[in-house]
Chains A and B, each alone.
Chain A
């Protein structure tokens, strides 16, 4: 739809979103997803696009303390929210304990699913609904890994839990 079409919906709307602690005042098209805003407009390309349909979890980010699929969230609907992406997990150059555990346990191969796995795992610990291995597996089922690193991912999460789960 062209900008000269009199019936065209407004091309851009103002939003204010805090991403990894930094407040961004932006203008976004209503049809831009949070995922596309992060990757294309803010160049935060840590968050990955796998399927763009809620089926893989590669786009998982934490919005106001909850993990969601950013491919199925409109950026305009994130107005006023606090978003944490994989880029925001480390603090002052120190990796998040979950990132350390993923490295320790070799919990990835190609790494494409990893940003989503990490955000999901950090949120899983905050939620506190998983204690057993079965529960960890089930609570991580929204993140697919084509390389099949599942066993090591569950190990890494167990390690962080055993150390008292220092999630933020």
Chain B
């Protein structure tokens, strides 16, 4: 690692001001992504502001019946929180599908949202990469691209956002609360991460200096009909090739409301309003799910390295929605897929 200076923040306003004043500064929370990237020389901060002592480590009820999860809550503590486990089991399941117990013990809400892509060219400073070095090229398009995007990618970059937790948060319609030099604002989850377009170096709509302080969940948790199904190259401790967060609100055998979010397919957790609307009022059967999957994948584009992914995504969506409908969510410890 290159040398850097370090301070520990005790106040949100102070931390935000310190970050805004220094382009070379970064927040550090769990450190599990930032330190990894610093060791590879991908990130080269001059100054780290440790935000782990900030009082943002609580999960609280909100006035509208939802939950507010502080930015500093460790991933483990979200997954095993009684309220989250009972009312938002989709989120708990998505978190437990990711990383390892050790990493989840360190990883924070804010850091998980802002973790960077796992594209191997992005990680390897000896190769070109438009995300790391704008204008240098994108070797993934003709190279190793199993983890790469099939939706919403650009000429410049086909990277995916690697988080599992964020796929759950997207399906649940969360809101990201942010504090910045200009005050506070709320960002709908689907607007937090962005598509690569011509500026793949920019992952999110946060400005430099802004801090994620909390993620708010609206009251509706879909706790009776949900599933998080993650398909990967090994059964645990591996990033998703495809992951699906499925949530249904059932009226007898009819779908009253459907949520469907995908990981491993795009630069952000992917939701498609048209596909969700198409399931509304329909019977919860495979043909309904297949139609929705076809809508999601209508614009899918592949490169040689990920040509298998649209079919895998289609099958994973159908299976996850079927698990949700049956009320038999995918277990994250018994790896058999029923």
Contacts and interface: CB of A to CB of B under 8 A. Distances in A.
Contacts of B102: 54, 57, 60, 67-69, 120, 142
Interface stretch (B28-36, B163-171, B264-272, B315-323): B28-36
A73 B28 CA distance: 10
Interface in A130-158: 130, 132, 134-135, 137-139, 141-144
B106 A72 contact: yes
B36 A77 contact: no
A73 B101 CA distance: 15
Contacts, number: 99
A77 B28 contact: yes
Contacts of A144: 237
Interface residues on A, range: 35 or more
Contacts of B235: 141
Interface stretch (B1-9, B176-184, B304-312): B1-9
Given A54-B103, A69-B103, A137 B2 contact: no
B36 A54 contact: yes
A73 B106 contact: yes
B185 interface: no
Scoring B2, B50, B101, B106 by chain A CB atoms within 10 A of each residue's CB, the highest score goes to: B101
Interface string A26-46: 000111010000000000000
A54 B123 CA distance: 14
Interface residues on B, range: 35 or more
A52 B39 contact: yes
B32 A54 contact: yes
Contacts of A93: none
A72 B5 CA distance: 17
Nearest to A128: B80
A74 interface: yes
Scoring B48, B52, B80, B100 by chain A CB atoms within 10 A of each residue's CB, the highest score goes to: B100
Scoring A8, A52, A69 by chain B CB atoms within 10 A of each residue's CB, the highest score goes to: A69
A33 B35 contact: yes
Contact of A69 (B2, B32, B80): B32
Interface in B228-283: 235-237
B1 A124 contact: no
Interface string B1-43: 1111110000000000000000000001011100110010000
A30 B100 CA distance: 26
Nearest to A57: B102
29 contacts: A9-B46, A10-B5, A29-B3, A30-B3, A30-B6, A30-B48, A31-B1, A31-B3, A33-B35, A52-B39, A53-B39, A54-B32, A54-B36, A60-B102, A66-B76, A68-B105, A69-B32, A69-B106, A72-B30, A72-B32, A74-B28, A74-B35, A76-B6, A130-B333, A138-B332, A138-B333, A141-B100, A142-B101, A142-B102
Interface of A: 1, 8-10, 13, 29-31, 33, 52-54, 57, 60, 66-69, 72-74, 76-77, 120, 123-124, 127, 129-130, 132, 134-135, 137-139, 141-144
